[in-house]
Amino acid sequence: MAPLPRWARPLLYRPGMTRPGNRSQLRITRHDLGRRNTTLRLEGRLDESDWDALAAARGECSDRRVALDLSGLAFLAWDTAQRLVALRREGVDLLGGSGFVRELLRSAASEARSEPEASEVRAHAKAGEARAAEESA
């Protein structure tokens, strides 16, 4: 069998220990598309312990536009979904994904949008409390 072309070889595969008693189950495969675009295909499970591997893979593509293909993910942790939503706001495209993954990302994005609104409401409430305290004094 002929070797895979460079653009289709697995970039990172970390089967070793990441935390005591927990094996990493993430495979990241880099696909270069032309001179400026790269897709990183994620397969397996993605949780906080794998974030450094994903950051390293993205770092190797720093001069390119990066898209993450999530169609191979079987599991996505909540905290990692929140981080992926933040990457999307930075311009990283999130492609594919099972219904579970898409719903988790939608929920994380919804929460991220509502958090600034909640902070703003709290700030207005504190300002109103301060004004009421000044008026009663």
Q: What is the DSSP letter of 48?
A: G
What ranges in the chain are assigned the alpha helix state H? 51-59, 78-89, 99-136
Residue 19: Cβ within 10 Å count: 10
Structure confidence at residue 62 (pLDDT)? 83
Structure confidence at residue 118 (pLDDT)? 47
- What average pLDDT does the segment 5-21 reach? 46
Residue 83's pLDDT band, with cuts at 50, 70 and 90, is very high
C-alpha of 129 from chain center? 38
For the chain, list the domains and their CATH numbers. 6-105 (3.30.750.24)
Euclidean distance between CA atoms 96 and 70, whole angstroms: 5
Residue 71's pLDDT band, with cuts at 50, 70 and 90, is very high
pLDDT at 20 exceeding the cut of 60: no
pLDDT at 137 exceeding the cut of 90: no
Residue 106's pLDDT band, with cuts at 50, 70 and 90, is very high
Q: Which residue has the tokens 């591997």?
A: 53
